[in-house]
């Protein structure tokens, strides 16, 4: 069958789909990846066929310091509603937040690519369209050519959960008050024939193990996360077994790619850990390394190291609770110290802490002394390693991407519109 993967121009969203794309190809299916032109090199580096659509955006979503500060604190509205109780929600607020997100987020991301994507889908005639959860253009393209379609999550399903809250509140309002900004937006591209699958897919591929998930009343297809972070080379020193407990400190790429740097004082943290009998490997972006000053003797600073190559040799990992990082560390059953700072990271860290494999320390509290204290707990209290082993078992119990391909073939048979 023909499979079209589509994503907005965000490399981390795309990378979460790459192992599934490989699995589909090795099963004999034809795969194309459609995104805006700036993503072409990233797609082809992954060994996949790119289909550029639309145009690059001139306007970024995070233009002002106010916007950056809002995103750094937690989930942006309306999707922070996913973690609120029913008593904390109200219709006017959620409706206003949906209007804002539709206008200044989802339209900005999707409108530039919709027409080209629909045109390509009608010409290529995919059997299946897979889209990351904010690329609603994928659902519109699937509708245009009659393909089955589903979302591939790269995060908690805050999108599906918030939508569930929204629909419940909407139904409690009089008919003349039941405004639906995202339905109006998407329905305009399908001749007014809106259906909920345009927002949440006919099914959703879930890459988180059960203790970490956030689920709505939707059809989920579990799939084990397989790490892919782009082209990588394993340094020789990684192959040498550490002579003392090895700890990795990694804070992801978003802090420097999308923001103005790290939210914790890296030199202060390195200094606080300098007298510990550990081998600390700190992955620090090259543009930030010049700000470090003297590096302690027990610390190795590198710009990047492939996590699967080093995490198995670690006694603990200090990280930002990003999806790819926490998923990789969880796969190897290593205790974690999470210092989240934006978007879904605080939510992930809270779930990891509740599961027991992880100690959470929000980045606005992550002084050097606090990180030191937290790391010592993670290293010395055996319960963290025990619970990390349990989380590893949960991860390994999930179907691999290769195994999920068979389920996708069955879902295409179920959902494909042969009359289109």
- Provide CATH code, domain 236-396: 3.40.50.2000
Report pLDDT digits (tens) over 80-98. 999 999 899 999 999 999 9
Residue 418: the pLDDT is 61
pLDDT for 322 beyond 70: yes
Residue 255: the pLDDT is 47
pLDDT band for 254, please (50, 70, 90 cuts): low
Average confidence (pLDDT) over 195-212: 98
Residue with the bigger pLDDT between 314 and 365: it is 314
**Average confidence score pLDDT of the chain:** 93
Lowest mean pLDDT among 195-204, 209-218, 357-366: 357-366
Residue 40: the pLDDT is 97
Residue 60: the pLDDT is 46
pLDDT for 363 beyond 90: no
pLDDT band for 195, please (50, 70, 90 cuts): very high
Residue 353: the pLDDT is 98
Sorted by where each begins, the domain ranges of the chain are: 2-224+399-415, 236-396
Residue 223: the pLDDT is 98
Residue 417: the pLDDT is 77
Q: What percent of the chain has pLDDT over 70?
A: 93
Average confidence (pLDDT) over 351-359: 98
Residue with the bigger pLDDT between 277 and 176: it is 277
Residue 63: the pLDDT is 45
Lowest mean pLDDT among 9-13, 92-96, 158-162: 9-13
Residue 61: the pLDDT is 45
Residue 257: the pLDDT is 46
**Of 53, 58, 72, 59, the residue nearest 8 (C-alpha):** 53
Do 236-396 and 2-224+399-415 fall under one CATH topology?
A: yes
pLDDT band for 300, please (50, 70, 90 cuts): very high
Residue 285: the pLDDT is 86
CATH fold group of domain 2-224+399-415: Rossmann fold (3.40.50)
Average confidence (pLDDT) over 413-418: 86
pLDDT for 208 beyond 90: yes
Residue 73: the pLDDT is 62
Q: What percent of the chain has pLDDT over 90?
A: 86
Residue 56: the pLDDT is 80
Average confidence (pLDDT) over 5-27: 96
* pTM, rounded to two decimals: 0.94
Residue 252: the pLDDT is 76
Report pLDDT digits (tens) over 260-289. 567 889 999 999 999 999 999 999 988 888
Average confidence (pLDDT) over 98-118: 96
Q: Which residues contact 162 (CB under 8 A, 6 or more apart)?
A: 78, 79, 81, 82
pLDDT for 64 beyond 80: no
């Amino acid at each position: 069958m023909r499979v079209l993967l589509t994503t907005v121009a965000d490399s981390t969203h795309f990378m979460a789909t790459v192992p599934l794309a490989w699995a589909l190809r090795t099963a004999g299916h034809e795969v194309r990846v459609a995104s805006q032109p700036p993503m072409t090199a990233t797609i082809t580096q992954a060994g996949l066929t790119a289909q550029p659509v639309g145009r690059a955006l001139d306007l970024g979503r995070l233009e002002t310091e106010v916007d950056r500060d809002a995103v750094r604190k937690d989930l942006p509205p309306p999707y922070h509603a996913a973690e609120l109780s029913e008593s904390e929600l109200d219709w006017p607020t959620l409706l206003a937040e949906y209007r804002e997100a539709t206008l200044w987020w989802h339209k900005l991301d999707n409108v530039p690519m919709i027409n080209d994507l629909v045109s390509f889908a009608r010409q290529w005639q995919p059997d299946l369209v897979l889209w990351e959860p904010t690329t609603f253009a994928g659902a519109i393209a699937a509708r245009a050519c009659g393909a089955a379609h589903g979302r591939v999550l790269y995060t908690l399903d805050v999108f599906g959960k918030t939508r569930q809250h929204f629909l419940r509140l909407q139904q409690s309002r009089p008919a003349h008050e039941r405004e639906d900004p995202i339905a109006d937006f998407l329905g305009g591209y399908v001749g007014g024939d809106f259906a909920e699958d345009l927002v949440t897919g006919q099914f959703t591929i879930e890459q988180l193990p059960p203790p970490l998930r956030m689920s709505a009343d939707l059809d989920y297809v579990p799939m084990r996360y397989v790490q892919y972070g782009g082209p990588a080379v394993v340094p020789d020193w990684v192959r040498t077994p550490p002579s003392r407990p090895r700890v990795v400190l990694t804070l992801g790429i978003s802090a420097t790619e999308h923001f103005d740097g790290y939210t914790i004082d890296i030199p202060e943290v390195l200094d606080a850990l300098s007298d510990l009998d550990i081998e600390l490997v700190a992955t620090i972006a090259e543009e930030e390394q010049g700000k470090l000053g003297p590096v302690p003797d027990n610390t190795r600073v590198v710009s990047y190291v492939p996590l699967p190559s080093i995490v198995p040799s670690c006694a603990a990992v200090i990280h930002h609770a990003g999806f790819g990082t926490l998923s990789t560390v969880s796969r190897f059953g290593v205790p974690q110290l999470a210092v989240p700072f934006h978007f879904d990271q605080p939510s992930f860290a809270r779930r990891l802490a509740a599961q027991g494999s992880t100690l959470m320390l929000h980045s606005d509290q992550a002084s050097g002394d606090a990180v030191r204290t937290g790391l010592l707990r993670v290293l010395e209290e055996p319960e963290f390693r025990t619970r990390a082993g349990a989380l590893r078992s949960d991860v390994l119990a999930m179907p691999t991407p290769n195994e999920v391909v068979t389920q996708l073939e069955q879902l295409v048979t179920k959902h494909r519109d042969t009359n289109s």
